[in-house]
Amino acid sequence: MKAVYINSVGSISSQKTFDNSSFLDDIISYEDHIILAVDPNYKDYISPANSRRMGKGIKMGVVASKIALNEANLDTVDAIITGTGMGCLRDSKKFLSAIIDNDEQFLTPTSFIQSTHNTVGGQIALGLQCKGYNFTYVHASISFESAVLDAKLMLENNEANTILVGGVDEIEDYTCSLHKLVNHIKKEKVSSTDLLHSKTEGAVFSEGANFFVLSNLKQDSSYAQIVAISTYNTLNTNITDVANTFLKENNLNIEAIDLLVLGNNGDIAHDSFYNELSSGIFENTQQVYYKHLCGEFNTASSFGMWLASKILKTQKLPEAVKLNTVQVSNYKTILLYNQYRGENHSFTLLRRC
């Protein structure tokens, strides 16, 4: 079985992450309940004609994947695997509202064509003329992890050597208004630095795209090795037991983890899963969080992987992500944990390479 490496990254988020030469040097603080991705200059990557036709999710996905491909020095890959919770939400909503508001009349196909979940993966393939394996996972907060798991399986078995893997989701007004109705989005605006102290229900919603070139061939520029990834639809025990089992399956103990990357989103009703780990078995482990920087969306954990990759490669840890005061000088093994509303939990284990 071959080892699997993260050879490059490409990130578009509500922070200025699209330039791989910097690493959260200037943090953007927000005070809101919905935050948007910071646009790179899309024209640097896509022709204006193509750009006009693409929805924001497609643009973010295509450009994040180009950034990752450039960094890995590749023109194409053997496979493309995308994770997206909601797909091209803006076009879906546009088509749906047109159906309802115009009583199924005067419709044009453009937004329907772009509405399918696999549009981003399809458009990346089209742009690269990549005829290889192409999958799209759409399972809430493990959409991205499913894509990584699939890629890891292929690379380990040498069914491919390079795979573009990413998580992408775009935000859209109508859907946000629904999530506000049921308090999945916070009622009040929260400042980034206070997110975990908000003591209210719901999260700050956002969008973004984080793509990675995964490979079973290590490069000098590689960021990390993906050692293991597991997803769980529900829990029938507590998260501590699941974490212990996951570590044991990988022949590791708690002391072997140098850094814990947590997906806390400030939702008082569901952050308890993270708190159980951070104040429990990982109390003496250095901890970071990131959803105050990138917001919550179905594939927000792909930003977590971007963060962990950057930390492993640069051995630097931005002050803004620190969750506790434990300090480590050398980052070798990082454990990531994420869940959303008590479902679709995931553990990912990265190692310095």
Partner 1 sequence: MSKGIAITGMGIISSIGNNVEENYRSLIEGKTGISRISKIKTLHRDHIMVGEIAFTNQELEQQLGLTPDNNYSRTALLGAIAAKQAVENAGISNINTYKTGLISATSVGGMDKTEAYYYDYFENKATQKYIAGHHAGHSTQKIAEQLGIEQSLVTTISTACSSAANSIMLGARLIKSGQLDRVIVGGSDCLSKFTINGFKTLMILSDTYNTPFDENRKGLNLGEAAAFLVLESDEVVQAENKPVLAYVKGYGNANDAYHQTASSENGDGATLAMQKALKVAELPSSDIDYINAHGTATGNNDLSEGRAILRVFEEGVPDFSSTKAYTGHTLAAAGAIEAVYSVLALQNNVVYPNLNFKTPMKEFSMTPQLELKEKELHTVLSNSLGFGGNCSTIIFSKKQ
Q: Given the rule CB under 8 A, which residues bind partner 1?
A: 80, 85-87, 92, 95-97, 99-100, 103-105, 107-109, 112-119, 121-123, 125-126, 128-140, 142-143, 146, 149-150, 153, 156-157, 175, 177-179, 181-182, 184, 230-237, 242, 298, 341, 343-344
Q: Rounded to the nearest whole angstrom, what is the least distance from the CB of residue 129 to partner 1 in the complex?
A: 5
Q: Rounded to the nearest whole angstrom, what is the least distance from the CB of residue 311 to partner 1 in the complex?
A: 27
CB 134 within 8 A of CB 122: yes
Half-sphere CA count of 74, side-chain side, radius 13 A: 26
Q: Rounded to the nearest whole angstrom, what is the least distance from the CB of residue 239 to partner 1 in the complex?
A: 10
Tokens of 282: 């990982």
Instruction: Report the residue number, 140 or 256, with the smaller CB distance to partner 1.
Output: 140
Instruction: Report the residue number, 9 or 64, with the smaller CB distance to partner 1.
Output: 64
CB 263 within 8 A of CB 288: no
Instruction: Report the residue number, 148 or 317, with the smaller CB distance to partner 1.
Output: 148
The backbone torsions φ and ψ at residue 340, rounded to the nearest 5 degrees and listed phi first, read: -135, 120
Please report, for residues 31, 81, 252, the alpha-carbon distance to residue 241 in angstroms, rounded to integers and kept in the order given.
36, 30, 14
- Within the chain, what is the greatest distance between any pair of CA atoms? 63
Distance (Å, rounded) from C-alpha 204 to C-alpha 264?
A: 11
Instruction: Report the residue number, 310 or 345, with the smaller CB distance to partner 1.
Output: 345
Q: What is the DSSP letter of 78?
A: S
Q: Rounded to the nearest whole angstrom, what is the least distance from the CB of residue 205 to partner 1 in the complex?
A: 13
Q: Rounded to the nearest whole angstrom, what is the least distance from the CB of residue 71 to partner 1 in the complex?
A: 23
Instruction: Report the residue number, 75 or 104, with the smaller CB distance to partner 1.
Output: 104
Q: Who's near 19: CB < 8 A, 6+ residues apart? A: none
